[in-house]
Chains A and B, each alone.
Chain A
Amino acid sequence: MKRIGLICMALVLALGTLGIGYAMWSDEVTIEGTVQTGSVAISINATSETYVYKNVTSGAIIMSPVPLQDLLLVASATTADTSTDTEKKVTMTFDNIFPTEEPIEADVVLHYTGSVPAHVVLLEEDVDPAIEKYLIQTWLMQDAAGAWVETDIDGIQLHYCNLVKLVVSLNATALQDNGKDAQGLSGKFTKTIIVHQWNEAWPTP
């Protein structure tokens, strides 16, 4: 009996010893983090075109932003989104242009979709000398009321959802004044618009 008592006492002590381990209270703080990077991005939002027709019955000139039927198509200024997987590109085509009272225009609207404010850099453009003096390029920016305002966009800041528009036409007065010299010309132009985060300088070449 005495032995049983010793065994029980040893058991109780052993269990007590275990209790010291089980009795430890604990607490913790978990720190989770999510990272969402911003973006600097510009996209092609819309394009518009001009088709110039002659009404063969009345002889009237008709300028339309959309193709029309049953009229003699004389000239056109069209814009197409010709982007690829690796390049955002707009192609404008001015065909059979001649002097008109209203300019024969093509335009493209660019949409700043980045979440980080950006600066605009216009790279030096490449224009064939044959057409350089006739080319009119106007940049506009949409104001808070939605109106397009002519703007020198080189160096301006863009914020999310800002819209800028490039309108291209040929100078009718210059075409008229240069007569035969302005006829039958063909040429190309290329311009590149870059947006980069506003807090860093664009590297100068």
Chain B
Amino acid sequence: MKKIGLLCLALVLALGALGVGYALWWDEVTIEGTVQTGTVSIEIVDQKSNDPAGSLDPADGHQPLGDGSWGNLFLNNTPPNASGNWTWYGTLYDKDVASCECVFGADWMTITMSGVYPSYGPDVAFAVQNLGTVPVNIISIKLSSVTTPQGTFPVDLDVDANWNNTVYMVANNGSVTEYSGPFGAGFDDDYAFTIVLTSIGGSPLTGVQIDPDMGVFGDVGIHIAQSTIQNETYSFTLKYMFGNWNE
């Protein structure tokens, strides 16, 4: 009888131990997420020179350096139209002496001018397009360096100022001078060349917003000045900085 009692006790304890494992009640919620970050991608998609090889030379260049300007453009923050539509209006010399050619990649553009002379006014128009997924704006446009026969000189100058007729005159010693007129004959005789950036509607490009797939038009005008040295190479670098539009 005592043996049976012990067996029962062992059985009860064993069942009790099982109960500890089986007694846990529970419930659960699963949270799944997917994340996709956006992209900021601005690319140069088209360009046009006002003096490709084989065409008559432009005199003095874009306003206010000369009397030239571009027409038949696309509006800011609209899909870019083809550069074949862009038309240069301005005084031309009756000779084809110099030329201005341009090649570009997604985020660079090289303008090469050959056979230039004082009062020659080349200009290159270009379109940039927002190929990213986030609207952007133009944060800054800076002249970052100039190269003259005396060397290469770093510069840190905001140059988005054509809307108030400001141009940038580069001397042979690498100095850069802002100038806002008057623009009579010989205004930049003491300099090697003068740069002007223009914008549609005479408004600053800085702050212009570009939505995905849309574009903005810009151009860079140059006026070769009296102090340019013959048979030398000059160059300059402009940097356009774009950022997501809300910053």
Residues in A with CB closer than 8 Å to B134 are 74-75, 96, 98
Report the interface size for chain A: residues with CB under 8 A from the other chain. 62
In the complex, A191→B35 CA distance in Å? Answer: 14
Q: Which of A118-159 contact B (CB under 8 A)?
A: 118, 131, 134-135
The A/B interface has a contact count, at CB < 8 Å, of 151
Main secondary structure of the interface of A (DSSP, over half): strand
A40 and B246: CB pair below 8 A?
no
User: How long is the Cα–Cα vector from A192 to B23 in the complex, in angstroms?
Assistant: 21
CA distance A43 to B27 in the complex (A): 9
Q: Which A159-205 residues sit within 8 Å CB-CB of chain B?
A: 166, 168, 170, 175, 182-197, 200, 202-203
Docked CA distance A25–B66 (Å): 130
Q: A48 on the interface (CB 8 Å rule)?
A: no
| Contacting residues, chain A, for B33 (C-beta < 8 A) | 91-94, 106, 168, 188-190
Cβ-defined contact, B40 with A200, below 8 A: no
Are B28's CB and A97's CB within 8 A? no
A-contact 0/1 string along B137-163, CB 8 Å cutoff: 100000000000000000000000000
Q: Given A72-B211, A196-B26, check contact A94 B31 (CB 8 Å).
A: no
Partner of B30, one of A88, A95, A184, A187: A88
- B32 adjacent to A90 (CB under 8 Å): yes
Q: What are 5 A-B contacts defined by CB distance under 8 Å?
A: A54-B209, A91-B33, A196-B25, A196-B26, A202-B24
B residues bordering A, Cβ < 8 Å? 20, 23-41, 132-135, 137, 209, 211, 244-247
